Structure 1
C-alpha cells in the first residue's frame, strides 16, 4: 500500500513539474495557440444593382432593389417622406 502511495506521489510531482516547467506556468493552453475556426458556410451573394435611370416602384423587381435605388441613385420617386422606405403609398389605406 505504501508503494502505491509513493508511486502516486511521484507521478503527481512529475506532472506538476511537467506542467510548470515544460508547458509554462499556466497548464491550460493559451488562446493564441488555437487556430481560428473557418466557417464552412458561404454567404449568399449580394445582388449587384446599378443606377440605370429607373425611378418608380413599378420599375423595381424587389423591395431590396428599391431600397438600393433610394440610397444610391439620384432622382428616385419612391420615397415621398424621405425616410428610406419605398412603396409607402402602396401600403397606406
Structure 2
C-alpha cells in the first residue's frame, strides 16, 4: 500500500481487496470504492459479484495517503468516515 504523489493515486486494502483511488474522483465515487461492500444495491456492485457482502472487521481495512495510514471504518456514516472521505478527496484533488 503506497501513495504515488506524482500520479495522485492512493492505494489500500479493504475487505481483503486491493483498491486504488485516483485523482479526479468525486466524493461519492471515493465513498463507493472505500465502502464497496455497502453498495450491494447498485448495478456495478452486482456486476462485480459483491451483492450482499457483509462487513468483516477481522481484518484491518487501511489506506495509505500522503499523511500516513488510515483505518477505514466499517460504517461509512460515522464522523470518522466522513473525515477520512474529506481527507482522501483533498489529497486526490489538490487544486480544488
Q: TM-score range by the shorter chain?
A: under 0.3
| TM-score after normalising by structure 1 | 0.25
Structure with the larger strand share: 2
| TM-score after normalising by structure 2 | 0.24
Relative CO higher for 1 or 2, CA cutoff 8 Å, sep ≥ 6? Answer: 2
